Each structure stands twice: as C-alpha cells, then as structure tokens.
Amino acid sequence: MQSANFTANIHERGFRSPFEKVKATSETLVSTDGRNLRSLNGDWHFIEDWYETALRASWCFEDSHGEPADFDWDFWPVTKVPSVWNLTKPELKYFEGLGCYMRTFDQPKTDGRLFLQFEGASYRTYVFLNHHYLGMHDGGSTPFTLEITDAVQEKENRLMVCVDGRRDPERVPMDNTDWFLYSGLYRDVFLFETPKSYLSDWYVRLLPDKAHIALDFSVEGSSEGSAVFSIPELGVNQKVPFREGKGNAVVEARPELWDIATPRLYHVSLAYGEDVLSDQIGFRTIRVEGTKVLLNDKPIFLKGISCHEDYPEGGKRSTESDRLQSIKDAQELGAVFMRLAHYPHSREMARLADKMGMLLWEEIPVYWAIDFQSESTYQDAENQLKELIRRDKNRASVVIWSVGNENEDTDARLSFMRRLAKTAKSDDPSRLVSAACLVNQRKLAIEDRLMTYLDVIGNNEYYGWYDPDFAKLPRILANSHLDKPVVITEFGGGARFGNHGGEEEMWTEEYQKRLYEKQFAMQRSCPFIQGCTPWILYDFRTPRRMNRHQGGFNRKGLIDSDHKRKKLAWQVVHDFYHGV
Ligand code: GCU
C-alpha cells in the first residue's frame, strides 16, 4: 500500500518495468532486403537525460500531469542521426545515461502496414510514436523493427527514441571492456511499408553438393499461399508454396561460385503478391575437414586481421568510405579474412565484403566476465546472436559466427556458450561456429571445454607481450593435440606510432615488429593453425589504456588511430601474407 505522500515520478523505483514488457527481438525483425526504405536520418532534437526522467516522469507521453512541464522536445538542441553522442560535444564524451531523441515526420495514408527499422542503437532503446509506447530493444549492435501501422497519423508524427547507454554487469557486453562503449542512435533509421501480408524473412544458400540452392522463407499476415523465387541468370523462376507462414524449396542450379578472387553475385528475388524481397547474393560452400578449412572444397589459410568498429571521426558510426577503406587496408595487407570484433559491425560491412571478396568472422559481445549465471543475460546474448544471423545469413562473405571472446572456462560459462553454439548451428547449419578462447595456463595447451561445440577453435595468445616468455608458445603448440582447425584470433603488442628505439624496448615500433617476426616464425611450424587475425588493424579508443604511450587508445594497431600511418610491423604482416 503506497504512503499518503507517494509521488510516482519521484518515489517509484520500478519505473522501467512497465516498458520492459514490450520487446523487439529477432522474431519481430523484418527483412528490408530490396525494399524501398525511407530514411529518417538527419536532424533530431536531443537532450541528455542523466536521471532517466523521460521514463520516470512521462516526458515521452508529454503529459506533465498539470504541473509546469520539465520537457521541451521541440526546443531541445539538434543532433545528427546517425551519430554516437560521445563525439557530438565534449561534455557528452563520457555520458552514460538516457539520450532522448525526437523528430517529426508526415506519412501519407496507406492501406498497407508501416514499420520503423533501427539498424543499431546502443544499448537499450525505448521507442514512442505520438505518445504511444511501441516497445524496447536490448543490444547495441543489431537491428530491430517496430510496427507503427496503428500509431501513425498523416501529419506531424512525433517520434521519440530514448537510448539507455549505461554499462551494466548483466548486459552483453558487460561493464568492463577493452573498447570504448559508444552510445546513441549511431546507425540508420528507416521507415518502410509492406502490403497487409508480407515476406518477413528469407534465407538463400548453396548446398554442399554445389548443384542445388535452398530457400527458406516466412510470411506474416497469411497462413498459406505461394511465392515466386527467381534467379534469372540461373534460369530459376519457381513457384514455392507456404503453409502456416513458412515455405521452403530446393532448386537445381550450378552458379559460378563466389570466391575471394571472383566474388560473383547474382540478383535473387522472392515475390509474394505485391511484396518483393531482392538482393545480390553470392553462392559458396564453407566447411571443415580434419584440421583444414575448405572454401568451395579447397583448403584455405585464413590470412586475416582483427578490427573494431571505431573510426577516427565517427567512432562506432561508420560511413561507406570508412568501411571501404578498412577492407581496402586489409586487402593491401594481403588479408582475405577479417575478424569483426567484438560485436556485429554495420550490415553494410558484410554487403561490401560480398562485393570485394573478403571473408568475415562475425561475433556477438559475449566478452570476458559476462554474467553466465543469469538467464536474462543468456536471453539477451541469444537474441543478439539470432538477430545477427537473421540479418547476415544471406551474405557469402560471412563464414564464421563467433559466440564470444576470452571467457573463463567455468561450468556456468560452458553451459551458457554451448547453448549459443547450438543455437547458431540450428539457425544456420551452413556456416562454421567458433569463439576466441584462452590458453589453458595450467596445462600450457590450447584446451578449453567449449572447443567440443566449435567447428573452428579461436585462440588468443600474447606471447611476447603480456607473457614475455616467448619460449612457452612452441611448448603450447606441441602440447596441443587438436583435430579441428585453429585460428590464432589474437596476438600482437603495443607501439605508439613514431616511437622508435631498440627491439627490446616496449612501445617502440621496433619491438612490435620483432614480436610479429617471432610470432609468424612460430606459427608457420604448426600444422593445425589454419589462419590468424592479429590484434589489430588500427589503434582504437579504450578507457582502459591510459599510460603515456596510449592516452586512451589501445596501441596494438598495425596502423595508427588516424587509420593512415603504418607502423613497421605492418610490413612484417604484409610480407608474411604475400609469401615474401
Ligand atoms: C584481449 C581482448 C581484446 C583486447 C586485447 C588487448 O585479447 O580480446 O579485446 O583489446 O586482448 O589486450 O589488447
């Protein structure tokens, strides 16, 4: 029973829970492939709401309950969407509260269905339209869709989006990461329309026999009917029935294979009534055989490089030229494989990699000491994994789903990540599942109970940096008896660009260069190592790195944080990858 002087927007501690009942998840994510997307990017009003008053005191319903209003949405300053608020003005660099965004838009009447699509907002997002609460989304790097058909009006729609950027030990990632956890509406916001019945998801892939293409799709708004599946250049134009909203087919086709040197893409479409999904899709196979990784049934050494989504100007907000430059920089290095660490990068990265012939490792941020005991944390992690797979499963470039990075080998973690690995396999049987594991220090071997559930073993080792005793590395490799491919997913060392000295002097470019020379000499000798993604292409922002050489950046990049100036070690990787 509330006391006589109870005032909800002051005393109500459970103010978030009413909003937590309506969630956008992988199940409500609608495919936007080939759709006519109306951009809602541009100028939005924005205020930093340190105490989450927008939720406590109903700012998003613009109801001040008869008191003088504390909100002023149309008066608040303007910020650009997409952007991370941390880089929009100096006083917001370390702001970790609720960012409140608002814009208006008109929407002509339609007898179809209308949706909002958010490509990425970090971390928790609450969406209101014309004072109706539409729902929330958890996860800072995956897209989500909200239907607005019943809440939209013709003129002056008021769209309010509150983004909660707090770090939290229960979240995925949790509150301690070696990268800057940017916040905000940092990827595209779209509005799109569909007919009353529409295609919500589709999955197109080449079967291992390389002579058949499989299609699975979902329809919302009709339980049965048929869709038309077309790949004109392959003579595919097939009517495919669906029941209870689900349809599938296997068609005979022998496409020219997508490969690194020949990234062949085909125009593919699926039409149901007025609704059409279309995309440029590449067809290839990926599998493991013993300790080998086979692309189109040919063994491949995954000459790779790791990279964060952290750009000089926009931070986690990337532009087309940012993404193009990072793939070009990887290709110049001689890489054919990029580890997009430690969370899903922009969907446009995989589209570009499809066009440019770059293989990708994509990862969800189950990073370090996640709350492996918490079921809600598990649901959050699994939903992000399912959203990532649903978003990118038609991308030929994506060959590995990673379920995490550098987690202690405990029973709780094994149970948590085994479930994730099985989910990845069941949602997408066509790709490989991995995780970046740590060396078993007691046995001095690459050994981790999670490996049983992985197709490819990722291993992070920093001999020559965190452990100066380089002599351990050959012992570890000799102690490791593995019947699966291993990718050394991280090794490297820090160097401040332009800091020169002896090979024994840490933080010099010469030290980093020597470390790489010794690492490659060792890795060459190990038959089960089938690739590596050295840490890392570019220096990147992180609040954990504050010595005189770092100044808030992790300096293990082969290229400086300006994404331009190459360090001496860059040449070592280049020469190794070019077989010099
Ligand atoms: C770890 C971790 C990275 C981190 C790196 C480092 O392996 O996976 O996220 O940045 O080491 O220490 O530089």
- pLDDT by residue for the chain (580 residues), tens digit each? 889 999 988 999 999 999 999 999 999 999 999 999 999 999 999 999 999 999 999 999 999 989 999 999 999 999 999 999 999 999 999 999 999 999 999 999 999 999 999 999 999 999 999 999 999 999 999 999 999 999 999 999 999 999 999 999 999 999 999 999 999 999 999 999 999 999 999 999 999 999 999 999 999 999 999 999 999 999 999 999 999 999 999 999 999 999 999 999 999 999 999 999 999 999 999 999 999 999 999 999 999 999 999 999 999 999 999 999 999 999 999 999 999 999 999 999 999 999 999 999 999 999 999 999 999 999 999 999 999 999 999 999 999 999 999 999 999 999 999 999 999 999 999 999 999 999 999 999 999 999 999 999 999 999 999 999 999 999 999 999 899 999 999 999 999 999 999 999 999 999 999 999 999 999 888 888 999 999 999 999 999 999 999 999 999 999 999 999 999 999 999 999 999 7
Backbone dihedral region for residue 507 (phi beyond 0: left; psi -120 to 50: alpha; all else: beta): left
Judge if the beta carbon of residue 460 lies within 6 A of ligand 1.
yes
Give the number of the atom of ligand 1 that is nearest the alpha carbon of residue 436: 8
Quote the pTM value: 0.98
Judge if the beta carbon of residue 407 lies within 6 A of ligand 1.
no
How much distance in Å is there from the Cα of 502 to the middle of ligand 1?
24
For ligand 1, atom 9: residue with the closest CA: 178
Judge if the beta carbon of residue 550 lies within 6 A of ligand 1.
no
How much distance in Å is there from the Cα of 489 to the middle of ligand 1?
10
How much distance in Å is there from the Cα of 499 to the middle of ligand 1?
21
In this structure, what are the phi and psi dihedrals at residue 22, rounded to the nearest 5 degrees? -115, 110
Question: What sign has the CA pseudo-torsion 376, 381, 384, 390?
Answer: negative
Q: Are 557 and 549 in contact (CB under 8 A)?
A: no
How much distance in Å is there from the Cα of 152 to the middle of ligand 1?
45
Residue in 174, 490, 542 to alter for ligand 1 test, most ligand atoms within 8 A of Cβ = 490
Give the number of the atom of ligand 1 that is nearest the alpha carbon of residue 405: 8
Give the number of the atom of ligand 1 that is nearest the alpha carbon of residue 545: 13
How much distance in Å is there from the Cα of 178 to the middle of ligand 1?
6
Decide: helix, strand or coil at residue 204: strand
Q: What count of Cα atoms within 13 Å lies in the side-chain half-sphere of residue 407? A: 31
Lay out the sheet containing 38-39: strands in order across: 38-39, 189-194, 113-118, 144-147
Residue in 174, 177, 178, 367 to alter for ligand 1 test, most ligand atoms within 8 A of Cβ = 178
Backbone dihedral region for residue 244 (phi beyond 0: left; psi -120 to 50: alpha; all else: beta): left
